[in-house]
Structure 1
Amino acid sequence: MEHIRFVGLDIHKQRISVAVAESGRSGSVEYLGEIANDADAISKLCDRLRRSSKRLTFCYEAGPCGYGVHRQLTSLGHRCDVVAPSLDSEEARRSGEDEPPRRHHARPPQSGRRVDARVGARSDHEAMRDLVRLRSVVRQVVTRARQHLQGFLLRHGRKHERGTAWRMAYRRWLSTLAFEHPAQQIAFQDYVDAVMDAERRLQQVEEQILSLLPEWNQRPVVDALQAMRGIALINAVVLVADVGDFTRFSNPRQLMAYFGWSLASNRVARPSGAAASPRPATPMPGSALVEGAWAYRMRPRIGRHKVDRIEALPKVVRDIGWKAQVRLCTRYRRLSARGENANVVVAAIAREMVGFIWSIACTVQSAPKAA
């Protein structure tokens, strides 16, 4: 029987904590201490641990430090699993363990442990994901800038009575405002300029995403997801960039749980008396799904802009998109007729959208590649 040495890592910005367990051991895990988080220290650790001619298997939890340690360890010929943090913490809670991550990861892997499948060599996908995350940050800047301006206007009793905020009529109304004191006028104009600058920055980031999209190897999946009502180009990019390989989920419920739209977290869908899940939705795709879910309050139809976008897609993909429209529009009306809160209805629709998204993405990603 081959002997394997399992090495658990707890990675931080400056230091890495290390624990080791031998294969076949059911007892304690040995804590080796800390090393510096740099390439030389990691190489020396590998040399020290493999002196006994045992195969090394590393494991650590995905975090803000990225996948640099994983790439170095695999380049040295070792196996390294990067565990999704939410799933790994759930496993620890179910088992009743209360120990540092380094010790938990050093134990021989359980069959239910799921590895973060987005790990790999530096790729176009990782680069696109970074750009999508930048867009999310800039959108938050836009939202905060708008809130600051509206808070200023509210303090001074300036209210726009008609229409929706930030449409053309609202912006024209802003251009007519004036304040008596020079300091107030300066503050008002600075708030307006902050909104304009943030919106311009967001537009530039989205233009960069669109310019790089034709070279992205996930472009076919992005195109296919637009067969779904409520999912336009940018939202499709957000979903694909976050998930990557949809086929790593064996069924749509696993993808729903990944997004936070599990059965237990949905008040409409879960059985009476079931506890709600404490884990929130994944921020970026979660908001994209909620935005898209509002579109199903209308009757099923394929608009002209959607026809132009999906006419080149495979028939099986178009059929899934239409099936989603018929089902989700009907469900939206039924839930609303029951008197459910609009936000609860949208959450239920967003959860079911994930199932159709999984079906479309897996159809495209599992299709044979053209020679």
Structure 2
Amino acid sequence: MDEVKVYVGLDVHKESIAIAFAQAHTRDEPHFVGTTRYSVISLTKALAKLGAPSELSLCYEAGPCGYGLVRALQERGYHCEVIAPSRVARQPADRVKTDRRDALLLARLHRAGELTAVVIPEPADEAIRDLVRARDDAASDQRRVKQRLKSFLLRHGHAYTGKRWGPKHELFLSKVKFEDPAQHIVFTEYRLAVRFATERVERLVQALHDQTASWRWMPVIKGLMTLRSIDFISALTIVAEIGDLRRFPHPRDLMSYLGLVPSEHSSGNSTRRGGLTKTGNTHVRRILIEAAWNYRLPARIGESLQPRLEGQPQRIIDIAWKAQLRLCHRFRRLRARGLHQNKTCAAIARELSGFIRTYAQSRA
């Protein structure tokens, strides 16, 4: 790319794009160009008045419109970045927000180099990520409809005390009867909703297996599955959401990205640390928090983990076993100190993310 002469900030919405620019190598205030409709053709016509594509550096905040615009601009020779909205510095006293001001702010900060760009996934990787999130949404819907059915039965004195959703539970449901026809209709509709939701989850899980069979990140997924409590869905979620784990220079960077580090508000001699920052990717953070709970048990290679170790290099197996020994010991030690189990799980999840980054580095 040639030397950048103009930095352009775009405030993108589904129907319009506000454009502002700042001249490079100067301290002049940015200028507002105007607003155009959401169209690559209209946008490139407006950008042509500012200079050649090689002389412009564009940016806009990540939002619901996705990555279609940045890919279209890059195909036309523009250098364009998608910015993390949470990292855009805004003045606390600034209580006026307009498209014009947002575009001017982006242009100013882009020229100063104070913006943080997000990683733009490949179209194939984004498609897998969409499928992973669709399965996650389907699983959430399944939990909701199951809870509705359980609540309805409990309210009418038909509570089940055994293991739910197995053959015995289905036999129990088939024998439940209501005297009022209206209540029986409600009961039947809830049962059908549970069945449809379960079938939907199963279809999406099978689709994930089919679509990822030849995916370029499949070796990484199989490697992560050697870790305890990281099954296919968990490993797939981690890789689909984060992408190349090697883009984090240090494990601490991955921990911070996932929001697994404690917040802090220190000033002078006063040091105050709070709960987790909970920034970054919520999907992966939830997966790791749930996985951390399994390390409360002694270290062992069970029947569910043994098949996942077969065919993996010895160095990968060694990392997985080292992680299990350390995390199981640390879980017991933290609990023995009286630390709350939720805080213990957060600490274990933080260290587990470090081992995940170590594994990625071992493949480099």
Residue 305 of structure 1: CA displacement? 3.4
Query: Which residue number in structure 1 is paired with residue 47 of structure 2?
Result: 46
Query: Which residue number in structure 1 is paired with residue 21 of structure 2?
Result: 20
Cα distance change on mapping 1:207 and 1:272 into 2, 3 Å: farther
Give deviations 1:252-277, integer Å, cap 9, x for gaps.
12111222212338xxxxx9731335
Query: Which residue number in structure 2 is paired with residue 327 of structure 1?
Result: 326
Which runs of structure 2 are paired with 1:90-109 in the superposition (5 Å)?
92=89, 98=94, 100-107=101-108, 108-109=110-111
Query: Which residue number in structure 1 is paired with residue 267 of structure 2?
Result: none
Instruction: Count how many residue pairs are aligned between Structure 1 and Structure 2.
Output: 352
What is the aligned-residue identity percentage?
A: 36
Q: Give the letter for the 1:117 counterpart.
A: V
Moved more, 190-199 or 142-151: 142-151
Q: Give the letter for the 1:118 counterpart.
A: I
Moved more, 310-319 or 98-107: 98-107
Q: Give the letter for the 1:200 counterpart.
A: E
Partners of 1:109 and 1:138 in 2: CA distance: 43
Q: Which runs of 5+ in 2 are unaligned?
A: 265-269
Residue 97 of structure 1: CA displacement? 8.4
Partners of 1:363 and 1:105 in 2: CA distance: 38
Residue 109 of structure 1: CA displacement? 4.8
Moved more, 234-243 or 16-25: 16-25
Query: Which residue number in structure 1 is paired with residue 82 of structure 2?
Result: 82
Give deviations 1:147-166, integer Å, cap 9, x for gaps.
22122223223322334x43
Which runs of structure 2 are paired with 1:1-371 in the superposition (5 Å)?
2=3, 4-50=5-51, 55-86=55-86, 88-89=87-88, 92=89, 98=94, 100-107=101-108, 108-110=110-112, 113-120=115-122, 122=123, 124-163=124-163, 165-264=164-263, 273-280=272-279, 282-364=281-363, 366=364
Cα distance change on mapping 1:111 and 1:275 into 2, 3 Å: farther
Partners of 1:106 and 1:298 in 2: CA distance: 53
Query: Which residue number in structure 2 is paired with residue 369 of structure 1?
Result: none
Please state whether the residue corresponding to 2:18 is helix, strand or coil: strand
Cα distance change on mapping 1:357 and 1:167 into 2, 3 Å: farther
Give deviations 1:295-335, integer Å, cap 9, x for gaps.
11111111233222223212221111111101110111122
Q: Give the letter for the 2:119 counterpart.
A: A
- Answer yes or no: is the 8 Å Cα contact 2:262–2:274 preserved in 1: no
Question: What RMSD, in angstroms, separates the aligned Cα atoms of the two structures?
Answer: 2.4
Partners of 1:224 and 1:101 in 2: CA distance: 43
Cα distance change on mapping 1:110 and 1:232 into 2, 3 Å: farther
Q: Give the letter for the 2:132 counterpart.
A: V
TM-score by length of 1: 0.87
- Answer yes or no: is the 8 Å Cα contact 1:224–1:361 preserved in 2: no
Partners of 1:101 and 1:8 in 2: CA distance: 8
Please state whether the residue corresponding to 1:334 is helix, strand or coil: helix
Q: Which runs of 5+ in 1 are unaligned?
A: 266-270, 367-371
Partners of 2:54 and 2:207 in 1: CA distance: 48
Q: Give the letter for the 1:115 counterpart.
A: A
Q: Give the letter for the 1:139 counterpart.
A: A
Give deviations 1:132-154, integer Å, cap 9, x for gaps.
11112111211221122122223
Cα distance change on mapping 1:206 and 1:48 into 2, 3 Å: same
- Answer yes or no: is the 8 Å Cα contact 2:22–2:111 preserved in 1: no
- Answer yes or no: is the 8 Å Cα contact 2:4–2:57 preserved in 1: no
Please state whether the residue corresponding to 1:275 is helix, strand or coil: strand
Give deviations 1:210-244, integer Å, cap 9, x for gaps.
01212100011101101110100111111100001
Partners of 1:105 and 1:75 in 2: CA distance: 22
- Answer yes or no: is the 8 Å Cα contact 2:263–2:277 preserved in 1: no
